Amino acid sequence: MKKSMSELNALSQEEFASFLSEVFENSPWVAEQAAAGRPYETLDELHAAMLRIVKEAPNDEELAFIRRHPNLATRLSVGENSAKEQQGVGLDRLTPEEFEWFTRMNDTYMEKFGFPFIFAVRGRTRADIEEAMKVRINNAVDEERAEAIRQITRITRLRLDDLIEG
């Protein structure tokens, strides 16, 4: 059930953190820290604060944060939000050949960059994802880390839009 910003701001710290705990993949600490910054007037302000928390984390914590994201098209257990997002683009219905291609690309990407390929799949097609994987595998590590954060920014905004009115 969606909440308004005023309802969100009125929650206890624990309730606030719990309500937003899954917005940032496997990183409830972002919502916990954001709770201390209340009140937030707008969804944009809340999202910016949460992104700032990630950006201001020590370099190794930001990298650990990126690494907590699942591979696309994995058959391993992923968070509820990731599962829904990947199902929406059909990554749960791949042929064996398609699954093998995604596995190979995920492995190659992880070997090169040290973190999973992150792509905001909502509203995109499987072809979009495949093309992005083919292109981004050629990026430099710093460039790709910045792109991972841009993709996380889009993912988290969509998740917040699902939870908060206006």
What residues are labeled active site? 69
Neighbours of 39 (CB within 10 A): 11
Question: How many CA atoms are closer than 13 Å to the CA of 140, on its beta-carbon side?
Answer: 2
| 8-state DSSP, 164 | B
CB 143 within 8 A of CB 10: no
Residues written for the chain: 166
- Other Cβ atoms closer than 10 A to 89: 20
